[in-house]
Structure 1
């Protein structure tokens, strides 16, 4: 129970085509953890935050923005190092048999003494605490049981968000975002955002 097969996942990044693999602005770059993410535990692991749907990845980045237009894909005054970067949608491939604990399963929560509010609450010490407990779950041989967890998006419950540790997802495509990108249009429609040119 709770084991979920994955194939494609999505993430929005600042992207530069000339960036080498693993470098800042590349599809494989994972920023140093700052401890602010929902499942962050920087002393134990680095976490990839990914979405199961392209529109969910868009919503995770732009969902709180009041106005959606072409300006939101630019970096404005973010600094000279961002010059030439584009906000882009990266599609990643993951192993089909990756063991991910699905926190949308009642039994998974019950086994760990958790409630749905434990998952979605915006209380970072609490969510990071249960994430570390799940990270430390092992089988009888001492092997870690899970490569990460999945929960539902704050913006829409049918969108699924992943937090993965100790894994390097493989990027298979990078697409620059615009107001005409299907994922942006779908997210705007789901969140009732007016898209302006």
Structure 2
């Protein structure tokens, strides 16, 4: 059975929104962790916000440092979870997930293939975790306080969810790459 795995950049104060505004370093170890995600996954789950932002950018990238990731994400099947979008035809290989989220994700997990990665989409990550559909949560914890006015990964009123630490390692820039699995 395939696993659903999320990798997110977060600040010390739990902010996951707009890492481009507070992520000051991107080191070799972080690049290796993200490359491992790409090697072990062949499908992507996206929430509405991330899909809308990325659909206007990634299909236009054909050269430069981001070209390899652009090719991977553009060529891979993308499953967009949204109750408000009418369609996702503006980005190739995208499918709108309609209906019951639990059923849709369980069908994806039961299908043939590698892992399914969740790209960005912290709201979707929260939902997957609450519904016990997320198998691994990889947090790249940056040594920065992002401050107020940005969305945190978990709301202050989030329900208790026990997680098991699978691994944790610091990088040369001081980021901690921590992998967790929900206790089931």
TM over 0.5: no
Give the shorter-chain TM-score range. under 0.3
TM-score normalized by the length of structure 2: 0.24
Larger fraction in helix: 2
Greater RCO structure (CA 8 Å; 6+ sep): 2
TM-score normalized by the length of structure 1: 0.23
